[in-house]
Chains A and B, each alone.
Chain A
Amino acid sequence: ETGVTQSPTHLIKTRGQQVTLRCSSQSGHNTVSWYQQALGQGPQFIFQYYREEENGRGNFPPRFSGLQFPNYSSELNVNALELDDSALYLCASSSTGGQDEQYFGPGTRLTVT
């Protein structure tokens, strides 16, 4: 059974640019949740996708958007990057709309300069 994978591992962007992060969910899971973890902080919920629809959103501006594909993999897009967007971005996959255990990927470290 393949676990949750994320790509890329690291990337560096310039303020104002756009970025796309990718997450492949664990086999059999139909739900992907995205979290932002700033340095020295706990992860914060960005949004969740369940069966290709957004199923809840945290306190993040609209420039954070996402997609889920028919194979349940997901993308997180961030437009107009700001310095404060520098963080570790974690995705977690689960079944049943997130009510079961969430399995986390290793994360993507984004640095905005």
Chain B
Amino acid sequence: GDSVTQMEGPVTLSEEAFLTINCTYTATGYPSLFWYVQYPGEGLQLLLKATKADDKGSNKGFEATYRKETTSFHLEKGSVQVSDSAVYFCALRRWGSGNTGKLIFGQGTTLQVKP
């Protein structure tokens, strides 16, 4: 079945450091890929998405490129801030009739940014 695997956390970085969180997926067909962020005590917020191969999703300085050849969707940011400290989830969703549009999530990666 479909699945998403993320790098183990926690990831601890100093402010202004470069961030990469690895995400790989297994799915039939051509799923859409997402990154969600969860701040402490809150629900999930969509950070960015990509719907087809080679698409790049971007938002708030974060980027991820849909790589079908490596089945990956790694999250990157050039310079992290303390306010980026949160849990990040990679997810996929398959389109088309008969699909509920359910999201399949990875296990999450905790990012802690120190001043």
Contact = CB atoms under 8 A, between A and B. Distances in A.
A74 interface: no
Contacts of B41: 106
A48 B107 contact: no
Given A48-B102, A56-B102, A41 B43 contact: no
B103 A106 contact: no
Interface of B is mostly: loop
Contacts of A31: 101
B108 to A, nearest CB: 5
Nearest to A33: B102
Interface residues of B, number: 22
Interface of A: 4, 31, 33, 35, 40-45, 48, 55-56, 58, 90, 92, 94, 97-107
A40 B4 CA distance: 15
A102 B91 CA distance: 12
Contact of B101 (A40, A41, A97, A104): A97
A42 B107 CA distance: 4
A42 B46 contact: no
Contacts of A105: 43
B101 A99 contact: yes
